[in-house]
């Protein structure tokens, strides 16, 4: 068996022997130097194996302490500077000495090291006193100076930062090795640091409470709700008295013992001349309870209230992004120990309105079992201005009526697999429709038809065989005949969009959807795999994609629609504007990577023109009537199969917002058979039923302080309005004045009159017919010539 290494011996001993040991060390150091002192120690410690090994132990002790930045709390702020949340392994805020009041500096010196400015790191006089006291059998005393205590605290903190639990134990135990380490390092430290630097280090390092309170700044904020620079004599004495035994002398836990300890600090301050007799007596007369103004520092995003899910999104951005560290562990250490000042994009006013809107729509614990979420983005910048949901936040699963899943966010930032977007996908289809040379006025047969998926254009993946044809239906199964692409959009007609998609290259549609900002959260072609890092190839290429069978999130949808709102500029969502560490170190933060002309401006503006009609006439959100102040607005409803998931995403030129209402736990639940939602009977759940009113409630508040802006003008060629031919029929004639058919009040089109399928609405395929049809065509042409797009919608869009 190998002989044990004597340097590995850790020997504990009574305080009397330890003090004697250190005293001998110091006395020897004064004669023969620090290194020679190690040779004297065994004579004092006694002749035994452990003591004989002390020279070897001493030789192992490093001569210098290299202070690292101490663990500090990190803080997340809203855009206006309001604190959202605090994160820490040790609740510490490092401040310079000039931001710590003189009474606080004097108090710790008075109670912990009254000869601080006289010794060189170790107090020989104090050791002698302690040794005499201990030998006499009085209450045990130590002899550690502030410098030694600072060394101890730094060693513990460094071991914690390194995840070295044995190092923590070693730096805390009453052993020869630890005392030698402190003594040797303290002497060395005072050769490289000034007294004020040591005092500053101690005041920032020491523990001042039983609730992980470290440093006087955190203590001042916790016990007295003020900065350390403002601490009075009595407050400083209270804090200084705690560090000897943070649990025992915590004034919120043991006020009686805390007062006795505080009064001892005050007596010492008086003895050293730091305070007058009057100040001492006045401070001693104050009760602990009356002086306290406790302000607890909650840890984590739960403290952010209604902003908790946004806060959680920000933390996920840090712990998952390699820019903040090579490993997840390093990034977590940075968040909880790095002292980061994290400034975000969150607009508190909009956030408050968002949280209220989704909770008013579906209260938490509603009998419907529905959940709701909202995300709001600034077009042209990608800034996430609001993010909320109706179910309260919890940092871990298991709490009844709470969740850690952020329904508005993607799998990486929120652990959500997303939800089928339904007709919220149609604007992407319309954009590709226009890019391929079609127009809003072009008519398609919206009668329900069965089409084989392999007959759709998918050149990038080849023919996609299917066991049965695809035959999507409309709400309540109504067939509608021939309608324009414009009408198919604002009335959200699935069968019409199926006909439009049949004419498109679905590979190009995928690219267009990606460019605009559609980001899938599940891969249909890969068995429903959750997508954590979406790519264009993850967008489904099969025919049902046309009506939104793939999953995404409210934040992704808000960002994609922001591309339309901005005239074609796509920006990735960003939540962080800056991160600063101790000493003013700036960290790189995620960039929105805004891409101008992600969608051609004329295409974007023409799609928006169609989406504006959703709020009027027979549009699916006509009941909203737009926003309260009448500003330009566009949007789109979305409803998945069986109404399981419902959406409304809409925007003004300066704000894009998406609202989702559905069931995250049962994503295929049937919501077509009637249900009570927030005390109201809902026959069928559509995007217009709950999500759209919630969107309007939020947007009316959110845009109230934003300037009113107009959308860009649509491209007349893409609208498809052309000069009407010369009139050949004075009385309007014709037997088909408006193309027949009828609209019910739910927005579904009726069947076209038989025998007239090729001549609906005047019979020439572009909306310009005889009689009233011709009059409207002329009015539409005049509107185009004058740039009067509102009149164009009245004259032609509803024709």
Kindly report, residue by residue over 525-538, the tens digit of the pLDDT. Answer: 777 889 999 999 99
Partners of 443 in beta bridges = 484
Rounded CA-CA distance 760/92 in Å is: 75
Return the minimum-mean-pLDDT range out of 181-195, 434-448, 712-726.
712-726
**For position 143, what pLDDT does the model report?**
62
Rounded CA-CA distance 116/197 in Å is: 12
**For position 495, what pLDDT does the model report?**
96
Burial class (CB in 10 A: 0-12, 13-18, 19+), 44: middle
Tell me the two tokens of residue 322: 């390699």
Rounded CA-CA distance 632/662 in Å is: 28
CA–chain centroid gap for 117, Å, is: 48
Out of 11-20, 556-565, 579-588, the most confident range is 556-565
Give the rounded percent of residues in the chain with a pLDDT score beyond 70: 79
For residue 467, name the pLDDT band (cuts at 50, 70, 90): confident
Say whether pLDDT at 9 is over 70.
no
Q: Backbone phi, then psi, for 286, in 5-degree steps?
A: -75, 135
Strand ranges in 466-542 using DSSP code E only, listed in sequence order:
482-484, 522-523, 529-530
**For position 183, what pLDDT does the model report?**
84
Say whether pLDDT at 786 is over 70.
no
- Each residue's pLDDT tens digit, 352-398: 999 999 999 999 999 999 999 999 999 999 999 999 999 999 987 76
Rounded CA-CA distance 584/716 in Å is: 54
Distance between terminal CA atoms of the chain?
99
Report pTM: 0.82
Nearest to 644 by CA among 699, 691, 696: 691
Mean pLDDT of 454-458: 92
**For position 210, what pLDDT does the model report?**
84
Q: Backbone phi, then psi, for 403, in 5-degree steps?
A: -155, 155
Q: Backbone phi, then psi, for 662, in 5-degree steps?
A: -175, -155
**Residue-averaged pLDDT of the chain:** 84
Max CA distance (Å), the chain: 127
Q: Which residues of 351-373 are buried (b: 16+ CB within 10 A; e: fewer)?
A: bbbbbbbbbebbbeebebebbbb
More confident residue, 623 or 2: 623
DSSP class of 500: H
Say whether pLDDT at 770 is over 90.
no
SS3 412: helix
Say whether pLDDT at 745 is over 70.
no
Rounded CA-CA distance 204/197 in Å is: 11
Q: Determine how many CB atoms are found less than 10 A away from the CB of residue 755.
A: 7
Q: Work out whether strand 419-420 and strand 74-77 pair parallel, antiparallel, or are unpaired.
A: unpaired
**For position 726, what pLDDT does the model report?**
63
Radius of gyration of the chain (CA): 36
Q: Which residues of 576-599 are buried (b: 16+ CB within 10 A; e: fewer)?
A: beebebeeeeebebeebebeeebb
Rounded CA-CA distance 253/259 in Å is: 11
Say whether pLDDT at 400 is over 80.
no
Nearest to 333 by CA among 72, 67, 85: 72
Residues 677, 682, 685, 690, Cα dihedral to 10°: -50
Tell me the two tokens of residue 576: 């962080």
Nearest to 112 by CA among 120, 123, 98: 123
> Where do we find the tokens 């006499």?
136
For residue 313, name the pLDDT band (cuts at 50, 70, 90): very high
- Each residue's pLDDT tens digit, 414-431: 999 999 999 999 999 999
For residue 63, name the pLDDT band (cuts at 50, 70, 90): low
Return the minimum-mean-pLDDT range out of 159-163, 199-203, 342-346, 748-752.
748-752
For residues 416 and 406, the answer to whether their CB atoms sit within 8 Å is yes
**For position 25, what pLDDT does the model report?**
54
Return the minimum-mean-pLDDT range out of 31-40, 150-159, 428-437, 634-643.
31-40
For residue 678, name the pLDDT band (cuts at 50, 70, 90): very high
More confident residue, 136 or 113: 113
> Up-side HSE of residue 513: CA atoms within 13 Å toward CB?
33
CA–chain centroid gap for 634, Å, is: 27
Q: Determine how many CB atoms are found less than 10 A away from the CB of residue 763.
A: 17
- Each residue's pLDDT tens digit, 66-110: 777 889 999 999 999 999 999 999 999 999 999 999 999 999 999
Nearest to 217 by CA among 339, 82, 117: 339
SS3 615: helix
SS3 598: coil
Q: Work out whether strand 83-87 and strand 91-92 pair parallel, antiparallel, or are unpaired.
A: unpaired
Q: Backbone phi, then psi, for 395, in 5-degree steps?
A: -70, -15
For residue 349, name the pLDDT band (cuts at 50, 70, 90): very high
For residue 727, name the pLDDT band (cuts at 50, 70, 90): low
For residue 35, name the pLDDT band (cuts at 50, 70, 90): very low
Mean pLDDT of 13-33: 49
For residue 523, name the pLDDT band (cuts at 50, 70, 90): confident
Say whether pLDDT at 6 is over 80.
no
Under the phi-then-psi rule, with left for phi > 0, alpha for psi from -120 to 50, and beta for the rest, what region is 517? left
Rounded CA-CA distance 497/528 in Å is: 24
Rounded CA-CA distance 94/337 in Å is: 12
Rounded CA-CA distance 181/57 in Å is: 9
Q: Work out whether strand 522-523 and strand 634-639 pair parallel, antiparallel, or are unpaired.
A: unpaired
SS3 375: strand
Return the minimum-mean-pLDDT range out of 43-47, 272-276, 419-423, 746-750.
746-750
Say whether pLDDT at 540 is over 80.
yes
More confident residue, 505 or 124: 505
């Amino acid at each position: 068996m190998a002989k044990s290494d004597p340097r590995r011996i850790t020997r504990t001993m009574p305080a009397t022997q330890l003090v004697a040991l250190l005293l001998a060390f110091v006395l020897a150091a004064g004669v023969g130097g620090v290194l020679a002192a190690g040779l004297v120690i065994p004579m004092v410690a006694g002749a035994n194996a452990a003591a004989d090994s002390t020279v070897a132990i001493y030789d192992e002790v490093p001569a210098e302490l290299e202070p690292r930045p101490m663990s500090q709390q990190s803080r997340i702020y809203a855009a206006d500077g309001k604190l959202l949340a605090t994160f820490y392994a040790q609740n510490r805020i490092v401040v310079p000495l000039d931001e710590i009041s003189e009474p606080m500096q004097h108090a710790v010196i008075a109670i912990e090291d009254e000869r601080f400015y006289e010794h060189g790191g170790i107090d020989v006089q104090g050791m002698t006193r302690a040794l005499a006291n201990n030998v006499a059998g009085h209450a045990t005393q130590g002899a550690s100076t502030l410098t030694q205590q600072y060394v101890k605290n730094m060693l513990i903190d460094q071991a914690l930062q390194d995840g070295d639990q044995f190092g923590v134990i070693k730096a805390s135990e009453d052993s020869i090795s630890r005392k030698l380490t402190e003594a040797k390092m303290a002497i060395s430290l005072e050769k490289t640091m000034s007294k004020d630097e040591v005092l500053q280090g101690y005041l920032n390092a020491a523990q001042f409470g039983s609730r992980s309170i470290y440093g006087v700044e955190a203590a001042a904020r916790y016990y007295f709700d003020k900065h350390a620079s403002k601490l009075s004599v009595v407050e400083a004495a209270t804090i200084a008295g705690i560090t000897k035994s943070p649990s025992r002398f915590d004034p919120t836990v043991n006020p009686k013992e805390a007062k006795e300890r505080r009064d001892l600090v005050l007596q010492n301050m008086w003895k050293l001349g730091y305070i007058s007799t009057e100040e001492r007596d006045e401070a001693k007369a104050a009760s602990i309870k009356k002086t306290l103004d406790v302000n607890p520092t909650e840890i984590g995003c739960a403290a952010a209230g209604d902003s908790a899910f946004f806060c959680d999104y920000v933390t996920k951005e840090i712990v998952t992004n390699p820019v903040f560290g090579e490993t997840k562990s390093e990034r977590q250490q940075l968040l909880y120990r790095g002292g980061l000042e994290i400034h975000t994009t969150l607009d508190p006013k909009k956030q408050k309105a968002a949280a209220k809107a989704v909770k008013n729509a579906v209260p938490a614990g509603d009998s419907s079992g529905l959940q709701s979420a909202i995300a709001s983005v600034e077009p042209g910048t990608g800034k996430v201005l609001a993010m909320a949901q109706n179910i309260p936040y919890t940092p871990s699963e298991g709490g009844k009526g709470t969740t850690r899943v952020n329904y508005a966010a993607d799998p990486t930032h929120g652990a959500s697999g997303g939800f089928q977007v339904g007709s919220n996908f149609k604007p992407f289809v319309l954009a590709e429709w226009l890019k391929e040379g079609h127009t809003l006025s072009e008519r398609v047969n919206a009668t329900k038809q069965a089409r084989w998926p392999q007959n759709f254009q998918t050149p990038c993946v080849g023919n996609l065989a299917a066991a049965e044809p695809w035959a999507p239906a409309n709400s309540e199964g109504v067939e509608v005949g021939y309608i324009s692409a414009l009408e198919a959009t604002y009335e959200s007609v699935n069968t019409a969009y199926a006909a439009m998609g049949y004419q498109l290259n679905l590979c190009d549609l995928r690219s267009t959807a990606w460019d605009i900002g559609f980001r899938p959260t599940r891969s249909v072609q890969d068995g429903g795999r959750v997508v954590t890092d979406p790519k264009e190839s993850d967008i489904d290429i099969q025919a049902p994609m046309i009506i939104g069978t793939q999953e995404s999130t409210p934040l992704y949808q808000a960002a994609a629609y922001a591309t339309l709102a901005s005239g074609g500029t796509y920006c990735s969502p960003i939540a962080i504007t800056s991160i600063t560490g101790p000493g003013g170190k700036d960290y790189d933060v995620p960039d929105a990577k805004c891409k101008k002309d992600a969608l051609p401006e004329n295409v974007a503006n023409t799609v928006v023109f169609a989406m504006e009609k959703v709020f009027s006439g027979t549009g699916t959100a006509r009941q909203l009537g737009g926003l309260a102040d009448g500003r330009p607005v566009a949007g789109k409803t979305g409803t998945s199969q069986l109404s399981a998931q419902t959406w409304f995403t809409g925007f003004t030129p300066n704000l894009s917002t998406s609202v989702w209402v559905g069931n995250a736990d049962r994503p295929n639940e049937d919501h077509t058979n009637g249900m009570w939602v927030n005390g109201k009977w809902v026959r069928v759940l559509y995007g217009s039923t709950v999500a759209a009113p919630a969107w309007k409630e939020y947007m009316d508040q959110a845009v109230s302080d934003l300037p009113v802006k107009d959308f860009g003008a649509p491209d007349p060629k893409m609208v498809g309005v052309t000069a009407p031919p010369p009139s050949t029929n004075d009385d309007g004639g014709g037997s088909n004045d408006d193309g027949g058919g009828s609209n019910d009040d739910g927005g579904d089109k009726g069947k076209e009159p038989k025998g007239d399928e090729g001549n609906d609405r005047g019979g020439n395929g572009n909306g310009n017919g005889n009689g009233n049809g011709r009059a409207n065509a002329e009015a539409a042409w005049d509107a185009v010539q004058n740039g009067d797009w509102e009149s164009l919608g009245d004259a032609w869009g509803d024709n």
